[in-house]
Structures are given as structure tokens and as C-alpha cells.
Amino acid sequence: MQLGGGFPAGRLSEICGASPSHQEAHQEAHQDAHRNAGQSSGRTSLALGLLAETLAQGVLAAWVDLADAFDPHSALAAILDRGGEEADLDRLLWVRARCEDEALRSCDRLLRTEGFELIIFDLFLPENPQKTGIKDVTWLRLARLAAGTRTALVVLSGEPVTGSRAELILEMQARSTHFVGPPSLLEAIETHAILRRHRRRPTGGKVALSIRAETIHAEPGPAVSPPPSPPSPRSPLSPHTASHKARRS
């Protein structure tokens, strides 16, 4: 990634950006999105790209879905667009949380389980995008757990919520959208990725991205950057413990 060197392993990161409605959040990266998705920032699309790059390495990942916005079809399209295979999605554990407390418990449990290279924690709620009951001490605990298992924990939100506990905060700002049709179908989102926080790099840097359907167009770079120190030995989970089918924690 051009901003900050990628999402670091063993650290808490955040991707924030506005999305005006639940339907748009669900279809943000989907090629059948309606024209009113024009205000979508590309937050979910960027996360799907990160997920696809991670799964392509043959490792496990998890998506904790408080927002109920994860779309397996869009995830598969992102994987195939990057030269991956449909079987890559079998290494994804999709957790559909019914409330914020359940999402936090699921995230906590996953971070205590070695074997997951990436955990996406989507807590953006379109009906209340700026409010979360998660306290700073909770983010501190999750950040420490991520460091212990060398897992890249990436939070998706409407507004920054992780504060000083995040290694990296990336804000997505939509510039314009392009449609084809009729019928009117979303073809691309033009957006800026702005580095709002980084512990070791200057902030304020901006990169223009063009997100076409499920595809992110930018200079290639690591999806998850190496940790600052050598990773501890892993005890990978059985592939049968990871599935893209919905599960309750």
C-alpha cells in the first residue's frame, strides 16, 4: 500500500469513511449497486481487496460483521479479480454478530486463537454511524491481543473510533462515482485515501484510488505488511474450522 506501508501484522488499524445507508454499505463494492451509492467512500471495497490479497497467501482470515454488510459474492469477485480461486473463500470465517457486545466477544475470541492472519472488524452501523460504546481500554486490550498472535486487526467505521490505540488510521473520501446503463449500474468510485494516523510515518498523505466494481486500482504493494519483529510460531487451525458460511459466535 502506498500510504503507511500496508496494514501491519500484529497491530490494530482502522479504515473509516462515510456511507449514507445500509443498502449502500451492503452494495458498496458490488457491480449492481444503485445510483444512490454515489456517496460511498470505498471503505468496504478496500477491505475486500485486503481480504482477497490475504486469502491468496493460503492463510486464514475472519470477518466480524456487526454491520451485516458482508457480501460473499463481492468477496469472491475480488478474489477472482486478483487471480485467486473460489476455494480461497473457504479459509474465511464469517461471524454475523447480533449486537456490539457479541461482536466484541467474537473479535476477542478470534484474537486469542492463533492461526488468523487477518481479522476485519466491521462495526459501521448506517443508522448510527458515529456512535459506539467501545471504550479506549477495550481497544487497548484488542491491540495487545493482536500483537500477541501477530494478527492484523482492521476496524471498519464511519468515523475514527480507535484513537491512539491504532497503529494506522486510513480515511476514505469519495470524490465522484461513475455509472453505466440503463439500467443505472455503479461502474467505479473515485476516492481519496488519506493517512490520518501512523505511529512512524508523517500523516496527511493522500492517494487517489479508482475502485471499479470489486477492483481497486493503485500501485501494487503488500496487503499486510510484515510485523516489526519476527513472528512467533503459529499453530494453524484446521481448514474445516474456517468457512464463508454465516456463523454465530
Q: What is the pLDDT of residues 197-235, one digit of tens each?
A: 888 777 777 777 766 554 444 434 445 555 444 333 333
d(CA 163, CA 157): 12
* pLDDT value at residue 110: 98
Specify the range with the lowest mean pLDDT, choosing from 8-17, 40-49, 165-174: 40-49
Higher per-residue confidence, 132 vs 123:
123
Q: What is the pTM of this model?
A: 0.75
Q: How many whole angstroms from its chain centre is CA 98? A: 19
Specify the range with the lowest mean pLDDT, choosing from 91-100, 170-179, 193-202, 208-217: 208-217
Q: Tell me the CATH number of domain 7-157+173-228, given options 3.40.50.300, 2.40.40.20, 3.40.50.2300, 3.40.1160.10.
A: 3.40.50.300
